[in-house]
Structure 1
Amino acid sequence: MGDNWILFVPLIVIELGVTVTALIHVLTHDRYRFGNKGIWLTIVLLFQLIGSIVYFVLGKEDNE
């Protein structure tokens, strides 16, 4: 089990990248299709990868 952690490193990097990108987008924009800034921050922080994907699919305003 000592070397298995190396398999998870790329997944962790991808998850952090997507989450940080979603957080930056939520914090820098004021228009959303559904909800508001507080709701999207909570969703992205609590559910990380899934919350970030949901934000980019459902929450992000298209015409920016």
Structure 2
Amino acid sequence: MKETLELSQLIGLIVPLILLQLVLMIIALVLCAKTEETRGPKMMWVLIIIFGQLIGPIAFFLFGRRNS
């Protein structure tokens, strides 16, 4: 019983993940730009957010922002 995914099913699985990743990345980049102090250099967090794919923005939300 070997089943294969058709292209439409594959797109239906991947597109929501890509949209979620883009939304999280944009929100994290905006928050990083507006935040005065971060834990570590801002440029480092920008690179983590961009190249960390889905985990980068989540890491910034959890560890990058300082609570004043």
Category of TM-score, reference length = shorter chain? 0.7 to 0.9
Aligned CA RMSD, in angstroms, stands at 1.1
1:41 equivalent in alignment to 2:46: yes
SS of aligned partner of 1:48: coil
**Percent of aligned pairs sharing the same letter:** 31
Unaligned runs of 5+ in 2: 1-5
Unaligned runs of 5+ in 1: none
Kindly name which structure, 1 or 2, has the bigger radius of gyration based on alpha carbons. 2
Aligned equivalent of 1:62, options 50, 63, 67: 67
Task: Give the aligned partner of residue 28 of structure 2.
Answer: 22
